[in-house]
Chain A
Amino acid sequence: MNMSLRKIWLIVRSEYWRRVRSKAFILATLLVPFGFVLVAAAPAALGYLAEQNSSKTVAVVDQTGGQLADSLAAVSDDQLTFRPVSHPTDSVRAAVRAGTYDGYLLLPDSLLTGKGHATYYGMQGGGLTDQIQIEGRVSEVVRQQRLRAANATKGVLSILQSDVSVQNRTIQEVGTGADHTFAYTAIGYVMAFVIYFAVFVYGQYVMQGVIEEKSSRVVEIIVSSVRPFELLMGKVLGIGAMGLTQMVVWAAVVMGVLAGAAPLLALFLDPASLGVPADASSTAVAEAAGLSIPPVPYALLGWFILFFVGGFLLYASLFAAVGSAVEQQQDAQNLLLPVMTPLILPILFLAFVLESPDATTSVVLSLVPFFSPILMMLRAAITSVPVWQMLTALGLLAITFVTMIGLAGRIYRVGILSYGKTPSLREIARWATYR
């Protein structure tokens, strides 16, 4: 093997392993997707838990004659128990304070004639769920009592008692383009942001690695064995490989956890609250709860990897150049401006490109090398981008990367051995001209 390539390979391997086997990396790689799933599933899970905990006993002070209280007692369940009481209101109130009941319900005489209001007195406000539950049952009981009072026939009663449920279904299979647009817009958004964050985070890793090497002064030993450019390349590729590993693991864990956990979670979810029929399959429940992921075309994943790699390489070399100029992370802030600006700009264009992905402006913006990893990915997801545009964007990205890493290498070479005052951008630009 060529000596230079062998050295780059040795550096890539060392940089990669050193990081991948660290506790921090392993923890982050394994925990982040679980955190992601947790965040996605938290609202449903919490709602379920809240329901479990809210088993309440409500005293019923019935001033209408006792029929209503008995009917309510009959519709009690695990979560909500109605207990008819005949004590004076004051003593019931005291019992609630003492904690015997969670609250009491006052049903005034006028309730049956439709004039009065049932009133619930509790120690706490009570959650929305409780309120809805109590209200629902009271009105049901009152309605039946009134119907009986009006001598309604059995037939009328049974008609009124039959449940009416509405099933929500999304139209799938053919047609309804709107549905697809939404899914792919979401995918495009996610991909654009993942590239943005990945380039940003892993770029910072590279910068931090360069700064560590410089401030620990190990760099002078290394560059007495390898060319600075080989060290730069090895570091960028090693950390890039680490990032790719992490993202692949994340993607696999997220998909695996969703595939395995969605049906499991669905068991805990109340189908009725999601608007699916009670006997719906767990997959359908999970889908309704937003726990499923739409299928992503393989070609799109392929482009995603290419643009991630290209974007990372381009920006990482610039992060490395900035890192070489400073001795501590905080000194890098001002110097990062020219690196961060082209990275953030496409985020500002996102909305426009999303709105009109085929407009000339969008096409041009998505071809600009510093923007293409984010904007071309977005367009690729939401519209059918001609292959020549994709290839042109990648080609331009590659050319820019080669130019930039050459420039970054010249800066890096001088920077890693310069200690003392943090240089200005102008000084750094001059380093590139040194022999």
Chain B
Amino acid sequence: MAHLDVSNVTKRYGDTVAVNDVSFSAKPGRILGLLGPNGAGKTSTIRMITYIAVPDAGTVRYDGRTVGPWSQQRMGYLPEESGLYKRLRVKEQLVYLGTLKGLSEAKAAERADYWLDRFGATDWADLKTEELSKGMQQKVQFIATLLHDPSLLIFDEPFSGLDPINAELLRDIILELRREDRTILFASHRMEQVEQLCDDICLMANGEVVLDGALRDVKQRFGKNTLILEFDGPDTFIDELAGTGRVRVNTRSAHRAELTLADGADARSVLDLALDRTDELYRYERVEPPLNEIFVDTVGEAEARRMQHESVTGTA
């Protein structure tokens, strides 16, 4: 199993620089989370990795060789918005896509059977794809991604539109692929998914990599600057703290708040104030920041809000 290395890659479309001098690498047996809002350059980067597009500068190497038709055969790609041939039957479709990846027809049919069975979808084999529900189609697409036993897997927002049960199934399979030492790239703007699944992260904004490394290291780099409070009684002390600029409020509800300490602010003074103002304080904890806050910290409030908005409204 092999490394994927993206080195100093730049891609322009007309006058627009979609990707600017981007470098990162993905390792076998690990999941790399590619993060960033719309227009950050994620899709453009992925298209260069999948050899759908060619960089204007820099190189993309897999297993030490520049990517090309040869690497497409070893790679499975599930695009963010993707579809299937509506009028082809499920199995026929899978076999066709499998043979385009270099499988023999017999092998493709055999593997299609295996995966259809695995997804409890054997009954669909002879259905036309347009007769399937959206969720069923997504499973078929997922099978198409895995059919040729690729060593490099690229999932672009694989969970969007999946119900919880299928999302769980998909997550299990992604983790299984990771145990099998495959190299996995997972692009998303859903921070909690990335935090749950990924070993490494690469954060992109405006066509550039702004943060990169093992998830744990990245979090440690930001230190324990986050406070979680759970309490009863009045919560006006939070406004007071935010008003003086000592903290920034990440999330807040009637009995719980997650705050980020401003640089140089004294964590103890927050505890003192909370003890003084609330009726009861159940929890006071200093933790590493959630990924979301790291993102806000790195790319700035405006950009982060835009992305959160996207993840809520589902536009991507």
A residues near B (Cβ < 8 Å) are: 3-4, 7, 10-11, 14, 18, 22, 212-213, 216-218, 220-227, 417, 430, 434-435
- Please give, as numbers and ranges, the residues of chain A lying within 8 Å of B144 by CB-CB distance: 221
CB distance from A384 to the nearest CB of B (A): 48
> Does B173 touch A at the CB level, under 8 Å?
no
In the assembled complex, the Cα of A7 lies from the Cα of B138 at a distance in Å of: 25
Q: What are the interface flags for B106-145 relative to A under an 8 Å C-beta threshold, 1 for contact and 0 otherwise?
A: 0000000000000000000000000000000000010010
- Please give, as numbers and ranges, the residues of chain B lying within 8 Å of A221 by CB-CB distance: 77, 79, 82, 84, 97, 141, 144
- Please give, as numbers and ranges, the residues of chain A lying within 8 Å of B82 by CB-CB distance: 217-218, 220-221
Known A3-B69, A430-B14, A435-B56; contact A225-B86, beta-carbon cutoff 8 A: no
Contact, CB under 8 Å: A7 / B100: yes
In the assembled complex, the Cα of A22 lies from the Cα of B100 at a distance in Å of: 22
A18 touches which one: B75, B79, B88, B141 (CB < 8 A)?
B88
> Does B39 touch A at the CB level, under 8 Å?
no
Most chain A CB within 10 A, of B50, B83, B97, is at B83
- Please give, as numbers and ranges, the residues of chain B lying within 8 Å of A222 by CB-CB distance: 97, 100
Enumerate B46-75 residues with CB–CB distance to A below 8 Å.
47, 50-54, 56, 69, 72-73, 75
In the assembled complex, the Cα of A3 lies from the Cα of B99 at a distance in Å of: 11
B85 touches which one: A10, A216, A227 (CB < 8 A)?
A216
CB distance from B109 to the nearest CB of A (A): 14
A435 touches which one: B54, B72, B99, B102 (CB < 8 A)?
B54
Contact, CB under 8 Å: B52 / A218: no
In the assembled complex, the Cα of A51 lies from the Cα of B29 at a distance in Å of: 86
Most chain B CB within 10 A, of A218, A223, A224, A435, is at A224
Starting from the known contacts A220-B79, A221-B144, A224-B75, 12 additional A-B residue pairs (CB-CB under 8 Å) come to: A18-B85, A18-B87, A216-B85, A217-B83, A218-B82, A218-B83, A220-B77, A225-B72, A226-B69, A227-B69, A417-B47, A434-B14
Contact, CB under 8 Å: A10 / B99: yes
Enumerate B192-246 residues with CB–CB distance to A below 8 Å.
none
CB distance from A323 to the nearest CB of B (A): 16
In the assembled complex, the Cα of A430 lies from the Cα of B56 at a distance in Å of: 16
Contact, CB under 8 Å: B77 / A14: no
Contact, CB under 8 Å: A216 / B84: yes
Contact, CB under 8 Å: B79 / A225: no
Most chain B CB within 10 A, of A218, A225, A417, is at A225
In the assembled complex, the Cα of A417 lies from the Cα of B80 at a distance in Å of: 12
> Does B272 touch A at the CB level, under 8 Å?
no
Contact, CB under 8 Å: A220 / B88: no
Contact, CB under 8 Å: B86 / A4: no
- Please give, as numbers and ranges, the residues of chain A lying within 8 Å of B85 by CB-CB distance: 18, 213, 216, 218
In the assembled complex, the Cα of A18 lies from the Cα of B53 at a distance in Å of: 28
Contact, CB under 8 Å: A225 / B97: yes
In the assembled complex, the Cα of A20 lies from the Cα of B133 at a distance in Å of: 27
> Does B81 touch A at the CB level, under 8 Å?
yes
> Does B13 touch A at the CB level, under 8 Å?
yes
> Does B159 touch A at the CB level, under 8 Å?
no
CB distance from B134 to the nearest CB of A (A): 13
- Please give, as numbers and ranges, the residues of chain A lying within 8 Å of B69 by CB-CB distance: 3-4, 226-227
- Please give, as numbers and ranges, the residues of chain A lying within 8 Å of B13 by CB-CB distance: 434
> Does B101 touch A at the CB level, under 8 Å?
yes
- The list of the 3 closest CB pairs from A to B, nearest first, reads A216-B83, A217-B83, A225-B100
In the assembled complex, the Cα of A221 lies from the Cα of B84 at a distance in Å of: 8
12 CB contacts below 8 A, A to B, read A10-B99, A18-B85, A216-B86, A217-B82, A218-B83, A220-B77, A222-B97, A225-B72, A226-B100, A227-B69, A417-B52, A434-B14
- Please give, as numbers and ranges, the residues of chain B lying within 8 Å of A227 by CB-CB distance: 69
- Please give, as numbers and ranges, the residues of chain A lying within 8 Å of B141 by CB-CB distance: 221
CB distance from A216 to the nearest CB of B (A): 4
> Does B24 touch A at the CB level, under 8 Å?
no
